[in-house]
Amino acid sequence: MEPNLLPLPDYVGRRRQLMAKLSDRGVAVLPTAGLQTRNRDVHFPFRPDSDFFYLTGFAEPEAVLVLAPGYAGGEQILFCRPRDPEREVWDGRRAGLEGALEMCRVDRCYDVREIDTILPGILENREILMYPMGQSGELDIHVQQWRSHAKSRARQGVRYPVELIESGYLLHEMRMIKDPAEQEIMRAVTGMSAAGHRHGMRQCHPGMHEYQLQAEIEYVFYRLGASHVAYPSIVGAGANACILHYTENRDPMREGDLVLVDAGAELLGYAGDITRSYPVNGIFSPPQLAVYDVVLKSQIAAIGELQIGRSVAAYHEAAVEVLVDGLRDLGILRESREEILERQLYRSFYMHRTGHWLGMDVHDVGDYRGPDGQWRNLEAGMVLTVEPGLYFSPDCADIPEIYRGIGVRIEDDVLVTLGGPEVLSAGVPKIPEEIEALMALGESVR
């Protein structure tokens, strides 16, 4: 779906839901991210804090959301930058207080420079203060000052926050279950990510450099409306595929190499996260295909485990079992299945887990275990990646030589639904014949 036709998330409803959890004993103070310097006079592209953006949809820096259920001066307050025609000529438009009030549908907007004057009064008679502790030293100091101010009035009978709650504690449970608007946005962002991968497969050929393949893929992300890449793209050919977070992307890709591409777009604050591994020349060699088939079987088995009510650990276990059988069939591990699992001998070749929550953050928030320490069960609306892999670095002296230097990962993004797993990233092929057929079409026209 066109990015500008996507449904608007229910920010007001989310704030109400959080406020109901807080009760009128509590107050939440949620700042957005700050601008980060890249080098002299240059900033990194601004990216709002995910928690703040989840509750406001407001994408300017220097803003703080305050939620104070029952507060007579307005329960939902946004502190932000006022209009400043001179600065706006240099740095771009600002919503200003009136614009932000209308856009975010909060009760009040104040100039962010007034926060030190206004906030201590809001903290008065609140016992619980929720904020992202430790996220910023500067914020920690401000919060202590605002709290001390309220505390200094204790003799006049004013109560002040005595309980501090980490903001993620209440908020991240909400963020873990994606509502219908979020599901639509995630279908869109994974769809555009898949389109980038499909385009990359067609452009790929021996002699091309990793960065050129990266550029082809990211070109499609941006052309389709992505706001950013969700994380630095990984394009690793040959043995570079065995470096899990390889991002140099500088090497030439050679005839006979397999290339591992892990790349995703970001749209409206949501991430796609897709990996495909394919032959640079468009045809899998027999050893590449043998390894690829094991990873693919493992990935398909893992996706099958993403059913409502099943433990979040089950899909990793399912993936590992198939990988272990494959490692034995390939003659890479010779011990018994039980011994390999017991001693985790597969970890020399599969050193990460099978996936993670996906959402506004690529490694999204949310606990994997419940308060009892048990793995939690899957619920409708959760989104996970499924990304098993096998990595045989060239230094693995004790495996058959034909497999050395091959790295394969296959990663899809999956929504847990009542009807079973919905593979959001299904738009990019992963069956070897389908990859070869797409690559055989050759360069697509821009």
**Structure tokens belonging to residue 243:** 């470096």
Q: List the x/- string, 394-433, binding to Mn ion by CB under 5 A.
A: -----------------x----------------------
- Is 273 a binder of ligand GLY (CB under 6 A)? yes
Residue 266 CB, shortest distance to ligand GLY, in Å, is 12
Catalytic status, residue 41: yes
Name every residue whose Cβ is closer than 8 Å to that of residue 295 and which is 6 or more positions away in sequence: 277, 323, 326, 388, 389, 390, 408, 409, 410
**Structure tokens belonging to residue 172:** 């991240």
* Whole-number Cα distances in Å, 73 to 66, 68, 146: 12, 9, 17
Q: List the x/- string, 237-266, binding to Mn ion by CB under 5 A.
A: -------------------------x----
Q: Whose Cβ is closer to ligand GLY: residue 160's or residue 231's?
A: 231
Distance CA 96, CA 87 (A): 12
Give the interface size with ligand GLY as a residue count (CB under 6 A).
6
- Is 391 a binder of ligand GLY (CB under 6 A)? no
Q: List the x/- string, 199-238, binding to ligand GLY by CB under 6 A.
A: --------------------------------x-------
Residue 116 CB, shortest distance to ligand GLY, in Å, is 39
Catalytic status, residue 84: no
Catalytic status, residue 87: no
> Which run of H or E residues covers position 408?
strand 406-409
Candidate list 47, 254, 328, 352, residue with the active-site label? 352
Q: Kind of pairing, strands 234-237 and 228-229?
A: unpaired
Contact of residue 218 among ligand GLY, Mn ion, none (CB under 5-8 Å per partner type): none
Q: Whose Cβ is closer to ligand GLY: residue 232's or residue 331's?
A: 232
Candidate list 11, 270, 356, 361, residue with the active-site label? 356
Q: Where are the alpha helices (DSSP H) in 152-285?
A: 168-176, 180-203, 210-223
HSE, side-chain direction, 13 A CA sphere, residue 264: 28
Mutual angle of helices 432-440 and 286-304, in 10-degree steps = 120
- Is 364 a binder of ligand GLY (CB under 6 A)? no
- Is 124 a binder of ligand GLY (CB under 6 A)? no
Q: Is 74 exposed, middle or buried (0-12, 13-18, 19+ CB in 10 A)?
A: middle
- By CB under 6 A, the residues from 399 to 428 that bind ligand GLY are 411
**Structure tokens belonging to residue 101:** 């009030």
- Is 384 a binder of ligand GLY (CB under 6 A)? no
- Is 216 a binder of Mn ion (CB under 5 A)? no
- Is 51 a binder of ligand GLY (CB under 6 A)? no
Residue 153 CB, shortest distance to Mn ion, in Å, is 49
- By CB under 5 A, the residues from 352 to 391 that bind Mn ion are 385
Distance CA 259, CA 150 (A): 59
Distance CA 137, CA 321 (A): 45
* Whole-number Cα distances in Å, 390 to 102, 325, 414: 51, 13, 21
Contact of residue 231 among ligand GLY, Mn ion, none (CB under 5-8 Å per partner type): ligand GLY
- Sheet strands (E) in 197-304: 228-229, 234-237, 258-263, 265-267, 270-271, 274-279
Beta bridge partners, 130, equal 28, 165
- Is 295 a binder of ligand GLY (CB under 6 A)? no
Contact of residue 167 among ligand GLY, Mn ion, none (CB under 5-8 Å per partner type): none
Residue positions annotated with a catalytic role: 41, 245, 262, 273, 352, 356, 363, 387, 391, 409, 411
Residues that bind Mn ion (CB under 5 A): 262, 273, 385, 411
